């Protein structure tokens, strides 16, 4: 059960390739979540209870990591021993990084600063898409970064903003992220590396919490957060077709941390993001999961690479968290209805009428039996969001008809160069 000292949670990271040092400055926290890496590989996380103590000794840190992550460390060591000594490298190319923003200057400044620090062989084309240009806030922040382009998109909605950025991108790879994300220095290199394989059309990475200072931030991590775990995996046509129930593309990552070959957005089987889905629309989310769906349906591969991680600042207040969870729940249903109505995928029906209601019953039962401390009020909010999903999708479709949609042909770029021809 939840106790008053379950949050805040300190967030720290350690690299086992370097000497361990004590963790300090923890007196304001009940526990510390330590994200553990070994060189360039993200291994896992360990929660260590300090209950207000200021520090955790090197010896305890070592013992906790060993006790919790020994199997993962052994598996990583084994993979490294069995892997080829030399891996093929992606030739240097232009990588466009698209950052939509809507009046969050502090977040945007942190994000752009981290992009400026990237250590990469690739040429970065960073595009800020201002989704509220009338305020002038994003433009003021971007003036501190002369190499960054600012594009305006006055139509509200994350999908509108991303599609506008895609249309102005010059890179053969397009990276999607959010303005409330901070990227480690090697992020771009790790995220785009799998594109050395020509069958890979998208790569997603882990999303870690930057801070867990409030109840809302901790609840969002308990809800599932934005990350998809510490094990690399990939999805392809076989993965797409093997499910009898709905294809769980929501397990593949999010456009807070994702990269795509630019060619897919001009492919009539895939095309741009669906502007009736996503933040800033009545549906609230799922533009990324539907894009993943179309990529897989077209016969391509998506790679999840957890070591290409970023740090994300979750919503700080419970009111903001409730709005977010309600939006996610609407968008989840809207996604399934879209695959049903636009793609004729009847597996969506089983998800909507069978597995989704069953999941809520199970979660409520676990809460009542005290196996979980996830609030019943948030479960009820998710159910209400699901029920609102069909009407939200109808409103979003009407909204797109009123505001206009970016046609696939408008995303075709005659200056696109294939990755294979970019070696220099």
Q: Do the beta carbons of residue 213 and residue 8 sit within 8 Å?
A: yes
Mean pLDDT of 237-262: 95
Ordered domains of the chain (ranges, CATH): 9-82 (no CATH), 94-318+406-421 (3.90.550.10)
Whether pLDDT at 154 is above 50 = yes
**Greater pLDDT, 159 or 418:** 159
Give me the phi and psi of 194, to 5 degrees please. -65, -15
Is cis: bond before 8, omega within 30 of 0? Answer: yes
DSSP code of residue 333: H
Burial 161-178 (b: 16+ CB within 10 A, else e): bbbbbbbbbbbbbbbbbb
Local structure of 358: helix, strand or coil: helix
The DSSP annotation for 265-296 comes to GG-TTT-S--TTSSTTSTT-S-HHHHHHHHHH
Whether pLDDT at 370 is above 50 = yes
Whether pLDDT at 368 is above 80 = yes
Pairing of strands 31-38, 233-235: unpaired
Whether pLDDT at 86 is above 80 = no
The dihedral through the CA atoms of 247, 251, 255, 260 has a sign that is: negative
The DSSP annotation for 58-104 comes to HHHHHHHHHHHHHHHHHHHHHHHHHS-SS---PPP-EEEEEEEESS-
Residue 328, token pair as written in the block: 């996610």
DSSP code of residue 31: E
pLDDT score for 230: 96
Local structure of 156: helix, strand or coil: coil
State pTM to two decimals: 0.91
Q: Do the beta carbons of residue 192 and residue 177 sit within 8 Å?
A: no
Q: Do the beta carbons of residue 89 and residue 62 sit within 8 Å?
A: no
List of residues 6+ apart from 394 with CB closer than 8 A: none
List of residues 6+ apart from 224 with CB closer than 8 A: none
Convert the pLDDT of each residue in 316-346 to its tens digit.
999 999 999 999 999 999 999 999 999 999 9
Residue 319, token pair as written in the block: 């009111």
Whether pLDDT at 118 is above 80 = yes
Beta bridge partners of 175: 97, 259
For the ranges 249-253, 289-293, 368-372, the lowest mean pLDDT is seen at 368-372
CA distance 328 to 315: 14
Closest CA to 384 of 318, 312, 333: 333
Burial class for 381, CB neighbours closer than 10 Å (0-12, 13-18, 19+) = middle
Instruction: Categorise residue 243: left if φ over 0, alpha if ψ from -120 to 50, beta otherwise.
Output: beta
Local structure of 342: helix, strand or coil: helix
Q: Which residue has the tokens 């597995």?
A: 355
Local structure of 232: helix, strand or coil: coil
pLDDT score for 388: 98
Q: Do the beta carbons of residue 321 and residue 219 sit within 8 Å?
A: yes
Beta bridge partners of 225: none
């Amino acid at each position: 059960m939840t106790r008053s000292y379950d949050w805040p949670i300190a967030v720290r990271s350690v690299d086992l390739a370097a000497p361990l040092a004590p963790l300090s400055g923890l007196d304001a926290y009940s526990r510390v979540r330590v994200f553990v890496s070994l060189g360039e590989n993200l291994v896992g996380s360990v929660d260590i209870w300090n209950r207000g103590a200021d520090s955790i000794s090197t010896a305890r840190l070592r013992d906790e990591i060993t006790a919790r992550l020994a199997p993962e460390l052994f598996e990583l060591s084994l993979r490294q021993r069995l892997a080829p000594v030399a891996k093929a490298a992606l030739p240097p190319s232009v990588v466009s990084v698209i950052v939509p923003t809507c009046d969050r200057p502090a977040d945007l400044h942190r994000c752009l600063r981290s992009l400026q620090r990237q250590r990469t062989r690739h040429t970065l084309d960073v595009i800020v898409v201002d989704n509220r240009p009338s305020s002038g806030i994003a433009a003021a922040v971007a003036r501190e970064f002369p190499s960054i382009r600012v594009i305006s998109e006055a139509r509200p909605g994350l999908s509108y903003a991303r599609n506008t950025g895609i249309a102005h991108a010059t890179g053969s790879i397009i990276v999607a992220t959010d303005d409330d994300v901070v990227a480690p220095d090697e992020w771009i290199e790790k995220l785009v590396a799998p594109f050395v394989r020509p069958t890979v059309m998208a790569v997603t990475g882990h999303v870690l919490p930057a801070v867990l200072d409030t109840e809302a931030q901790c609840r969002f991590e308990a809800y599932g957060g934005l990350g998809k775990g510490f094990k690399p995996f990939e999805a392809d046509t076989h993965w797409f077709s093997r499910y009898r129930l709905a294809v769980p593309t929501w397990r593949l990552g999010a456009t807070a941390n994702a990269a795509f070959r630019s060619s897919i957005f001009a492919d009539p089987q895939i095309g741009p993001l669906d502007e009736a889905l996503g933040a800033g629309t009545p549906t609230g989310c799922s533009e990324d999961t539907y894009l993943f769906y179309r990529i897989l349906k077209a016969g391509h591969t998506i790679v999840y690479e957890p070591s290409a991680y970023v740090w994300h600042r979750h919503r700080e207040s419970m009111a903001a968290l409730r709005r977010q969870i309600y939006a996610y729940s609407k968008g989840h249903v809207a996604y399934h209805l879209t695959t049903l109505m636009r793609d004729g995928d009847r597996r969506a029906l089983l998800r909507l009428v069978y597995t989704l209601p069953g999941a809520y019953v199970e979660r409520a039962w676990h809460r009542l039996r005290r196996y979980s401390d996830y609030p019943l009020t948030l479960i009820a909010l998710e159910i209400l969001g699901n029920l609102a999903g069909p009407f939200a999708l109808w409103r979003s479709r009407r909204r797109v008809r009123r505001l206009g949609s970016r046609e696939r042909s408008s995303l075709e770029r005659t200056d696109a160069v294939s990755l294979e021809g970019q070696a220099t």
